[in-house]
Chain A
Amino acid sequence: MTTATVDLYKPVKATLTKVIDESPSIKTFVLEPEVEFSFKTGQFIQLSLEGIGEAPFTPSSSPLVKDRIEVTIMKAGFVTEKIHNLKEGAVLGIRGPYGRGYPLEKLYGKEVLVLGGGCGFAPIRSLLYNLEAEKDKIKKLTFCYGSKTPKDCIYKGYIDHLRSVDKFEVYRSVDQADDEWNETEGVVTCLLDEISINVEESAAVVVGPPIMMKFGVQKLLDIGYPEHKIFLSMEKNMSCAVGKCGHCMMGKYFVCKDGPVFSYDEIKDQPDIWK
């Protein structure tokens, strides 16, 4: 994958064609790059605002769609706040895709368990699009998704769609329910008590806030998942995204290039994996 050396850090321009409100703090941005831009599910891009800043995001759209790319972004600080203020027509920069995405070949033939929390649904959505298109290659897909409150649940329409997909099962929980909530109340890991899955035949993908991933992995190990069949997408500070600037170092790994998706056995001995 040797990248044309002169353009290594030069973004391509992309026009913001649509902004979708997902929750009070999360929006999806639909971008049309000026040249075709393809990625593998779980790979990420660097999205830049001219003269302001750049941050890594995992596309939430289908990797099979080539003419537009969607990113779902939580307002979390300086750059994400500026992005949230953008209107349709704005021009952004994207470079990438970077990193190692989800190991699809290790999910094929399996009962796939996907455990997601909060904004972790964004990168998971691209995986679900991908697996839906290839559903004859997997045994089944169980998706457990947790958020803080019903208001924070994103992609409501998409959830309804997923429930209608053959082989797909969806379980949701919120930390704090309201009167209308008729699904599970509690942290997302309690959904693992509700599902029926043959652990021997399964592989799991976990994406979400660090604390959720930590307890999620613990629970998966408890119910018998081997370390090498648990896949995590790690989030670290990033600047270059190509294994040079050092910001994303997690022990011996550059998360940007060696990851961001790792199996648990690869990273369990590295420092600060949950920070």
Chain B
Amino acid sequence: METYYTLLKSNWDTLLNSILNEYDIYAPFHFGESIEYSIVTESNVKNIIYNRPKPSTPLKTFFLPVKENVVNPSKSDKKRIVMGAPSCDLSALSILDEIYLDKDYIDPNYSGHRKNTLLIGFDCHSTLEHCHCTTYGFKPYPEENTDIVISYIEDKIVLNVKTEAGETFRKNWINSYERITEKELTKLNDIQTDVEKELNGKNADLPDYQQTGKLITASEEDIWQRYSDTCVSCGACSAICPTCSCFLFIERPQFEKVRSIDTCQYPGFERVAAGEDPLRPLSKRFRNRYMCKYVWKPEKFESKACTGCGRCIEACIGDINKNDLFRELNKKETVET
């Protein structure tokens, strides 16, 4: 499904205001230097940031909150709209869905949040230094896992409605709209093509997803020791990764459980009774995250376990750059063959 509508930005703002009682709406806003999701109110509707990569917090936190009671969840019946997720974050939902909506064991909380949320993704009209979605086969404009996609061009909001749910929303709330003109469509396509070109250009020396897995498997211990040298096991790379999805249960009274996000980057993640811990050595623990994303998950799941958002590079306080690591492995490979 792919239907374009346009409306004046001022009308779109009015529309958002008019549905605030119906929905909790989240959208990206500036917080100092960074962009962050926040709840939309009448007073901030005009400050929503359109088409700029990318909220510091990944989209996943709307579906897998940092902490959540999974036996006795707090319920809110109000429907939710999450606006502003970039393509990398939306595509990352595919692997989360495979895990959390696995038909053998459907996760009640995750599935509830997914059903209760209308997703309105944004095209990226610019890129950040470490963005590399196209390297792994994703476009800088959302193609999947979103109900509607928005591009804000000149004074118009261009809506690309992609699902039934998106179309229902459009029918219910948007009554003054226009069909997209040829000129507007060309303009939209030009922006998309330019951004894609820019990404391909600056990441030309990065190996693609499949190649990355092969390089990691063939790599030697030395490079992991070198790159993990400044790792302090803070877990930020996993916390901000749109596809990392590990957690730990914490027991509460009444046999309740609180799910708390966890990561293989914390010491003790795989520790078993009597203290045996395969991931105790730092370089091995560090490499585990790469093995998980580029070697093991690809063998198990259909969806990719890295969408090239680049957040793990931005977030690392040890200044570890995974793309430098892959460039180095790639170069070595090219020299050797």
Contact = CB atoms under 8 A, between A and B. Distances in A.
B303 to A, nearest CB: 14
Interface stretch (B81-89, B102-110, B141-149): B102-110
Contact of A235 (B247, B251, B272, B277): B272
Contacts of A53: 251
Interface in B241-278: 245-249, 251-255, 257, 262, 264, 269-274, 276-278
B296 A249 contact: yes
A50 B257 CA distance: 10
B108 A5 contact: yes
A50 B255 contact: yes
Contacts of B274: 76-77
Contact of B292 (A5, A13, A239, A249): A249
Contacts of A116: none
Interface in A227-275: 235-237, 239-240, 242-247, 249, 251-253, 257, 271-272, 275
Interface of B: 70-71, 99-100, 102-108, 111, 245-249, 251-255, 257, 262, 264, 269-274, 276-278, 291-292, 296-297, 299-300
A49 B256 CA distance: 11
Contacts of B272: 235-237
Contacts of B300: 252-253
Contacts, number: 115
B99 A244 contact: yes
Given A243-B99, A247-B248, A275 B255 contact: no
29 contacts: A2-B105, A3-B105, A3-B106, A5-B111, A9-B71, A9-B257, A48-B251, A49-B251, A50-B253, A50-B255, A52-B251, A54-B249, A54-B251, A93-B255, A210-B276, A237-B271, A240-B249, A242-B104, A243-B102, A244-B107, A245-B248, A245-B249, A246-B247, A246-B262, A247-B270, A251-B299, A252-B299, A257-B104, A275-B276
B91 to A, nearest CB: 20
Interface of A: 1-3, 5-11, 13, 48-54, 74, 76-77, 80, 93, 210, 235-237, 239-240, 242-247, 249, 251-253, 257, 271-272, 275
Given A10-B255, A50-B254, A242 B105 contact: yes
Contacts of B276: 210, 275
Contact of B278 (A9, A48, A271): A271
Contacts of B297: 252
B296 A251 contact: yes
A245 B270 CA distance: 11
B296 A252 contact: yes
Contacts of A5: 106-108, 111
Contacts of B262: 239, 245-247
Contacts of A74: 273
Contacts of B270: 236-237, 247, 249, 272
Contacts of A8: 70, 105-108
A244 B245 contact: yes
Contacts of A235: 272
